[in-house]
Amino acid sequence: MDETVCLLPGACVSLLIYGANGYTGRLIVPIAMARGLRPILAGRDSAAVNALAAECRLEARPFALDDPAAIDRALSGVSLVLHCAGPFSKTSRAMVDACLRTGAHYLDITGEIPVFEACSARDAEARARGILLLPGVGFDVVPSDCLAAHLHRRLPDATELVLAFRTVGGVSRGTALTMIENLGMSGAIRRAGRITPVPAAFHARMIPFTDTPVLAVTIPWGDVSTAFHSTGIPDVRVYTAMPASQHRVLRLSRSLGWLLQSRFVQHQLSSRVRAGRAGPSESTRARGGSFFWGEARNAAGQVVTSRLQGPEGYTLTADTAVRCVQRVLAGNAPIGFQTPSRAFGADFVLEVDGVTRTDL
């Protein structure tokens, strides 16, 4: 049985949110405060972090991620880091290194396969240090990971897992920048237990998120990594709903990867995103929603299918991230590398207001 995080009764525990001044960070901070937490706010932009901390009457510790000594000083006395500054493929390594040095638990809101796999590879280090490495505590991948674990619970000998999601609402600047970074790159599925590169938009199918099926296409989503760690199911594919026009563009990108990855195109697209709004407005998020569908199949051909429905993605992220933080600070989490469902169970996501699950 996994050892659990041990925080002594009455001990001074502190939470540091890195990237607190970003779009998602600004959604997380007030929820954390409303639930009785007093997070230390941190990030790369000193002016923005200090201004937000003054507004919230919280402590500010701005720092960059290219100075290990500065990171260690900032993490002094910190029990847990919630890392919200992406792209995580560029920022997570420095923060994980610091958490291992200082003994702080590490949580983040990534959805990037390489980050999950990098954290998994450091499981032994984390256990030796007595800390938790829990990437993906937001929309990526709490709902889909819990759905995967639920399907595995329904069909324990499953050998194939299909997950799919559909979102209603916009994307944040950080999400858009990560999407641009990945333009023209290959997709990924898990086959026979191994993460396998496949062409972009490798496979398309109709998915019944509701009673009316819609087109969905495979993407290299975080669950290609995490679902295997959570369930042991060797074959995993993840789909997202998209219009046929976007599907055609993705297929076209297979032959234009060299152009989409060029410095000029990346700079032009990134500049346009940075000049736009930080993310969906409050009213857009209130009108939005998220829909998940999953199917597990065993070697005998038995199939189980379930749906999950919840709030808009960023709203859900802010809620689940804080819930994960609360669980860890209360000492209710295992140490080492974990996924959301391994740490808190397949039904964890059902604690979020507005989340429902249906077995079909």
**Any idea which residue has 């989340």 for tokens?**
355
CATH topology of domain 142-313: Dihydrodipicolinate Reductase; domain 2 (3.30.360)
HSE-up of 315 (CA within 13 Å, CB side)? Answer: 22
What pLDDT is attached to residue 88?
Answer: 94
pTM: 0.91
Do residues 294 and 349 make contact, with C-beta atoms less than 8 angstroms apart?
A: no
Those residues of the chain that have pLDDT short of 50 are 1, 6-12
Q: What is the dihedral of CA 106, 108, 111, 114, to 10 degrees?
A: -30
- Give the DSSP H/E element, type plus range, for residue 356: strand 356-359
DSSP state of 300: T
What pLDDT is attached to residue 177?
Answer: 66
What pLDDT is attached to residue 28?
Answer: 98
What does the alpha-carbon distance between residue 85 and residue 100 come to, in Å, rounded to a whole number?
A: 18
In tens, the pLDDT along 179-218 reads: 666 666 679 999 999 999 999 888 999 999 998 999 999 9
Q: What is the helix, strand, coil percentage profile of the chain, to 5?
A: 40, 25, 35
Token readout for 69 is: 């000594």
What does the alpha-carbon distance between residue 38 and residue 57 come to, in Å, rounded to a whole number?
A: 9
Token readout for 6 is: 């041990």
What pLDDT is attached to residue 11?
Answer: 38
DSSP state of 276: S
Length of the chain: 360
What pLDDT is attached to residue 303?
Answer: 98
What does the alpha-carbon distance between residue 252 and residue 22 come to, in Å, rounded to a whole number?
A: 33
What does the alpha-carbon distance between residue 312 and residue 330 come to, in Å, rounded to a whole number?
A: 27
Do residues 312 and 168 make contact, with C-beta atoms less than 8 angstroms apart?
A: yes
Q: Where are the domains positioned within the chain? A: 15-139+315-350, 142-313
What pLDDT is attached to residue 180?
Answer: 65
Reported CATH class of domain 15-139+315-350? alpha beta
What pLDDT is attached to residue 6?
Answer: 44
Do residues 131 and 100 make contact, with C-beta atoms less than 8 angstroms apart?
A: yes
What does the alpha-carbon distance between residue 132 and residue 317 come to, in Å, rounded to a whole number?
A: 19
What pLDDT is attached to residue 250?
Answer: 75
Token readout for 121 is: 């590879």
- Give the DSSP H/E element, type plus range, for residue 95: helix 88-102
